[in-house]
A and B are shown apart, each in its own frame.
Chain A
């Protein structure tokens, strides 16, 4: 019988996590180079972890949603939820009655209407 030890499981999980973080970091560097090219590897990885945690706070769990959240976060600033002017966005993101893609559509539409 194949036995996978806890340490092996942890190693696998670690590898997946790092792969995910790499994809997100690459996405940020490619899409928003002016904001992220100055960050070191560890800083960027930490940023991805922090923003992913924030995405989870908003109920986002899939990789696709988290990456779309990172994109929004990069647009608005990675501290956007602490800015009073963005309270409406935070409120919208917390709204459990609207699917996340719908929220994004509303946000981009409003941002573009001004």
Chain B
């Protein structure tokens, strides 16, 4: 088969194929001979061809993507008078019952909490037949509706967790021991949806200012739960037909999931799979322990009336242990001049040190959700950042990017742009970082006499450590991909290393590859200018995230690295007005990651920069932060995106895609299997069935209600 030209290296043959594909696509799109209506007979044929040779049962419910919630920063930054638009959680449910046990539909019941359910993404059309807000009652779902994948858009109705119950009816034709079992309620899946409750405490101005722009993209709420799925295996009803209910997991996947009786796993508690339950209501929680891209198959087996449907209904669960990644954006611009407006109600930022333009002031509200952070390098000379975020899903990301683009376009096109930013214009005093002039929601004038408004867009991510390898490789296809490959290759030969360990090794490998062969770094900003991905979190904090066994594995890798004697930044680098002739030895750096001297490794920051935590007025960015105190995620900055916001969109969307896949429980149902054996896969190329009995993520309170 043809190669994917993007991923296979993009040689000339691939480029040629891509060009041919584009030309052919255009030709087809423009061809009058190709019908714009369904080839109805083909659809019939397709349906026939797609008919399953074996009965399948694929009940599923899914919440996509990871919903956002307000956090303290967001709520403080965007006052109630100007809140971000609500982003609903998309809820879809379905049951592709081609045959088998469940073919009659079912019911979804809300058993805890409050939701508002709509049929449109704008959340203007309430779901028919459901009270708004929906706090009690059952929605009957017939099989036709289940099969239609009708989407529902859900907003939280009130503070608190939400619990839905999906109950699937047995098919009338299912007669193990007729007639009683035809009405038996076999399995109920309870879907728990957690949310991060907004913290309504107003951030004190000084704290807001001190925080401003420094921790973009980092959630700041303490109420975060890992995602879990509550599975309730019900006793056979009526009684007497049940032998046992079974929840099993494939042995090869053991350890990737845990099944335990309580929502929060007790430390040391054994994974609870492969246990047969009595014929009684049994509650268990399924949670991911380690990210598993291919998912883990668990079987909900039913033994009724002496006949066993071992693994009769299977769900594939993609476990998660972390929150979705968040993204914040900064637009950096050097050499700006900050002046107060004469009215003292705003400020002016001039992009050069020249006098203000006489051009007509262009007033715009292009960037209502942005703010401006400045950092003073010299008297009156500001280094400014236009900051927006964080975003937790595609909708917010796209809105953010659109706003950035509008803003940048306005500044480029007009000599003077006055934006009504909810801005925090900081101090004008040289070297002053923490004490700032607070001018929230005032006009800010950008003077651009030469139509030159250069800058760099940067994105700050909060990333689970187990996902670091993919993250780095996605954002830096050269050194990042090589680092990921090297780390995974090493881990393949060391079974003790898990994804988190690979994540840290990849991060180290990445710095080694970026810095080991670096020429002299003359840029005043020093080593960080060499990086595509810069870690704001220091490596000691990352190391501390690893369990003891993984720390040991990392230690084995670090001690055995053949490059220990070589140096990072061997040709030196600029550092705060001086020049450091060389960086640390790789071995010494890796040792410092483990030893955690003074709490920071030797590259956080690199030698000759003021060590973090020593009262430095403007700290160096590398390794300034620990992990996020709430999510324990690694904070990293993507530094090299430039003007092309569409490029940003693609990059960030792809990264967010990666997290979205990992950060929801989604999966694929397998075939009904009545023998207890897994049996062969479906005929032909494995046909993926939309599936998974359950998936869930966080939902948020209705954002239109400031008290929610």
Known contacts: A63-B38, A114-B477. The answer to whether A108 contacts B657 by CB under 8 A is: no
B18-26, B69-77, B608-616 - the one binding chain A = B18-26
Partner of B37, one of A63, A78, A79: A63
B38 touches A61 (CB 8 A): yes
Collect the chain A residues with CB atoms within 8 Å of residue B22's CB: 108, 112
B657 touches A91 (CB 8 A): yes
Can you name the residue of chain B whose Cβ is closest to the Cβ of A111? B6
Instruction: Give bound CA distance, A77 to B5, whole Å.
Output: 10
Collect the chain A residues with CB atoms within 8 Å of residue B18's CB: 75, 108, 111-112
B44 to chain A, nearest CB (A): 7
Can you name the residue of chain B whose Cβ is closest to the Cβ of A55? B46
Instruction: Give bound CA distance, A23 to B39, whole Å.
Output: 12
B688 touches A81 (CB 8 A): yes
Chain B, 28-54, contact with A by CB distance < 8 Å: what is the 0/1 string?
Answer: 110100111111111111110110000
Collect the chain B residues with CB atoms within 8 Å of residue A77's CB: 1-4
Known contacts: A50-B684, A75-B2. The answer to whether A114 contacts B46 by CB under 8 A is: no
A2 within 8 A of B: no
Collect the chain A residues with CB atoms within 8 Å of residue B685's CB: 50, 79, 82
Instruction: Give bound CA distance, A68 to B25, whole Å.
Output: 6
Known contacts: A68-B28, A85-B4, A114-B10. The answer to whether A109 contacts B41 by CB under 8 A is: no
Instruction: Give bound CA distance, A72 to B22, whole Å.
Output: 9
A62 touches B36 (CB 8 A): yes
B640 to chain A, nearest CB (A): 14
B25 touches A104 (CB 8 A): yes
B355 within 8 A of A: no
Instruction: Give bound CA distance, A49 to B151, whole Å.
Output: 29
Can you name the residue of chain A whose Cβ is closest to the Cβ of B2? A77
B346 to chain A, nearest CB (A): 39
A3 within 8 A of B: no
B4 touches A72 (CB 8 A): no
Instruction: Give bound CA distance, A8 to B616, whole Å.
Output: 87
B682 within 8 A of A: no
B35 touches A62 (CB 8 A): yes
B493 within 8 A of A: no
Q: Interface range on chain A: under 10, 10 to 19, 20 to 34, or 35 or more?
A: 35 or more
User: A32, A57, A75, A112: which has the most chain B beta carbons within 10 Å?
Assistant: A75
Chain B, 648-692, contact with A by CB distance < 8 Å: what is the 0/1 string?
Answer: 001000100100110000000000000000000000111010000
Can you name the residue of chain A whose Cβ is closest to the Cβ of B685? A79
Chain B, 262-278, contact with A by CB distance < 8 Å: what is the 0/1 string?
Answer: 00000000000000000
Q: Which of B117-160 contact A (CB under 8 A)?
A: 121, 151
B50 touches A53 (CB 8 A): yes
Collect the chain A residues with CB atoms within 8 Å of residue B207's CB: none
A79 touches B1 (CB 8 A): yes
A97 within 8 A of B: yes
B35 touches A109 (CB 8 A): no
Collect the chain A residues with CB atoms within 8 Å of residue B684's CB: 50
B477 touches A14 (CB 8 A): no
Collect the chain B residues with CB atoms within 8 Å of residue A56's CB: 43, 46-47, 50
A32 to chain B, nearest CB (A): 8
Instruction: Give bound CA distance, A24 to B25, whole Å.
Output: 13
A113 within 8 A of B: yes
A84 touches B293 (CB 8 A): yes
B342 within 8 A of A: no
B25 to chain A, nearest CB (A): 5
User: Beyond the given A20-B39, A77-B4, could you list 19 further A-B residue pairs with CB under 8 A, ordered by the A residue number?
Assistant: A20-B42, A35-B1, A49-B45, A56-B47, A61-B38, A63-B35, A63-B36, A63-B37, A63-B39, A64-B35, A67-B28, A71-B25, A75-B20, A77-B2, A77-B3, A79-B685, A82-B688, A111-B4, A114-B6
8 pairs from A and B in contact (CB 8 Å cutoff): A63-B37, A64-B28, A74-B21, A76-B2, A79-B685, A85-B7, A108-B22, A111-B18
Q: Chain B interface (Cβ within 8 Å of chain A)?
A: 1-7, 10, 17-18, 20-22, 24-25, 28-29, 31, 34-47, 49-50, 121, 151, 293, 477, 647, 650, 654, 657, 660-661, 684-686, 688
Closest 4 CB pairs of A and B: A77-B1, A53-B46, A75-B21, A17-B41
